[in-house]
Amino acid sequence: MQIQLSEHFSYQKLLRFTLPSIVMMIFTSIYGIVDRFFVSNYVRKVPFTAVNLIMPFLMVLKTIGFMFDTGGSALVSKTMGEGKPEKARRIFSLLVYVSIFLGILLTVFGIIFIRPIAAWLGASGSMLEDCVTYGRIILIALTPFVLQNEFQSFFVAAEKPQLGLFVTIAAGVTNMVLDALFVAVFQFGLVGAAAATMLSQMVGGIIPLVYFLLPNKSVLRLVKTKWSGKFLAKACANGSSEMMSNLSMSLVSMLYNAQLIKFAGENGVAAYGVLMYVNFVFLAVFIGLSIGSAPIVSYHYGAQNHAELKSLREKSLMVIAVFSISMFLLAQLLAVPFSKIFVGYDTELMNLTCRGFQIYSFVFLFAGINIFGSSFFTALNNGMISALISFLRTLVFQVAAVLIFPIFWKIDGIWLSAVAAECMSVIITVIFLITKRKKYHY
């Protein structure tokens, strides 16, 4: 039976409703890891390092999708909670159309400037050529990738989270199958890995676009709309935290890479890449829970159902606490196996990766509450607080830590930087959750 946003959510119902989003985010992360696995093991260290070096720039260009997906779905869900479905559909359509336009512009920009940017990031020689080759192929699917990220949240707002999961699985299977064919079987190298990712992103973006263009049984569909700077600005303000979070993560990744090259050379960048890909899988649980629960929070906020808001906040934090402890313990157990899978062909690199992962895994004890807190305020249409949490967590605290800690603890200080940033962010998040509880009645 389909669960509606207007219902009361028990622990069981909350987990059932958010499970497709959690699985969707985990699967998205896993097929990204599979892609890097083939690059690392079949194309080897220099191309693998090149992918890790250029990826933050590619993610910067993709942040538009992260802004419109959470901010837009919060606004659309709140509007539906107010009993205005036609208005919600017009806002939804406006956001999708603007995203397509901006995606095309960013694609052109990225393709033109990727070479000088890769050189500025520190690439040279064959690594520079690998960065340009991989990046330009990936950028072909920038607009579909932006749409894929947006539709992940809009499927939840449309009360169709299972369809979002189906699309993600379809894109992931496409990527993994094509990786195996293009890289392992046909030996197309880095070009094959990039093509596999590009085509999978086409699948992930075009299928939901067609679904919402055609008549469907969901509460959302693409309709004729009018330009509205007010609605667009509101969605951007709501989603600014998620855009800031992803933009900051990309910029900080560039800084991490610079510090790692300084303290550990190419091995440091490669090890950090492995940590980030595994990190995405673990954090995907928190992100999926936040994406899945945000439209529920927005709906009940719009409907002024204060008792349900309080219940959602309490249950979500309890679930996050259980997940946090479980993932920390799991990360400690899997540090060696994960390192062997990706870089087992290089003993020095494997040992560096394993050491880094054992230290970095303390992040999972604190990250969940920060991710949920930021998403929670976005769902309440308070983009300012959400953006502040994300800005401090992903940029200010990270930059300060990664510049200071290596002075005292060298390479270990770099791995500790993320842990320190999450710890400091928890304090900020808890303060906001406590001080704003009377205003939002949760």
pLDDT at 363: 96
SS3 379: helix
N-to-C CA span, the chain: 28
Average pLDDT over residues 8-16: 90
pLDDT band for 161, please (50, 70, 90 cuts).
confident
pLDDT band for 66, please (50, 70, 90 cuts).
low
pLDDT at 123: 86
Q: How far apart are CA 54 and CA 254, in angstroms?
A: 9
Question: Could you give the percent of the chain with pLDDT greater than 70?
Answer: 96
Average pLDDT over residues 207-233: 88
364-393 per-position pLDDT tens digit: 999 999 999 999 998 898 888 988 998 899
Instruction: Judge whether 277 and 31 are in contact, CB under 8 Å.
Output: no
**CA distances (Å), 329 to each of 293, 322, 334, 361, 384, in order?**
25, 11, 9, 9, 34
The pTM is what?
A: 0.73
pLDDT at 292: 87
pLDDT higher than threshold 90 for residue 81: no
Q: Regarding predicted confidence, which is higher, 67 or 332? A: 332
DSSP string, 251-310: HHHHHHHHHHHHHHHHHHHHHHHHHHHHHHHHHHHHHHHHHHHHHHHHHHHHTT-HHHHH
Give the residue extent of every domain in the chain. Answer: 13-440
Instruction: Judge whether 331 and 357 are in contact, CB under 8 Å.
Output: yes
Instruction: Judge whether 20 and 164 are in contact, CB under 8 Å.
Output: yes
Q: Please give the structure tokens belonging to residue 175.
A: 């990527």
pLDDT at 65: 62
Q: Regarding predicted confidence, which is higher, 140 or 82? A: 140
pLDDT at 373: 94
Instruction: Judge whether 365 and 423 are in contact, CB under 8 Å.
Output: no
Please report the sign of the dihedral spanned by the C-alpha atoms of residue 430, residue 431, residue 434, residue 437.
negative
Q: Please give the structure tokens belonging to residue 245.
A: 């979070």
Q: How far apart are CA 63 and CA 80, in angstroms?
A: 26
Lowest mean pLDDT among 80-84, 112-116, 142-146, 307-311: 80-84
Q: Which of 49-63, 244-258, 312-326 has the highest mean pLDDT?
A: 312-326
Q: How far apart are CA 301 and CA 407, in angstroms?
A: 47
| Average model confidence (pLDDT) across the chain | 88
Q: Regarding predicted confidence, which is higher, 201 or 238? A: 201
Instruction: Judge whether 398 and 362 are in contact, CB under 8 Å.
Output: no
Nearest 5°: the CA angle 148, 149, 155 is 80
Please report the sign of the dihedral spanned by the C-alpha atoms of residue 305, residue 381, residue 373, residue 204.
positive
pLDDT at 237: 74
pLDDT at 21: 84
171-181 per-position pLDDT tens digit: 989 998 999 99
pLDDT at 1: 56
Lowest mean pLDDT among 86-90, 381-385, 418-422: 381-385
115-129 per-position pLDDT tens digit: 999 998 888 888 899
pLDDT higher than threshold 60 for residue 165: yes
Instruction: Judge whether 351 and 208 are in contact, CB under 8 Å.
Output: no
Average pLDDT over residues 408-414: 93
Q: Regarding predicted confidence, which is higher, 58 or 427? A: 427
pLDDT at 96: 92
Lowest mean pLDDT among 108-122, 236-250, 286-300: 236-250
3-class DSSP string for 200-234: HHHHHHHHHHHHHHCCCCCCCCCCCCCCCHHHHHH
Question: Could you give the percent of the chain with pLDDT greater than 90?
Answer: 45
Contacts of 14 (CB under 8 A, 6+ apart): 293, 296, 312, 315, 316, 319
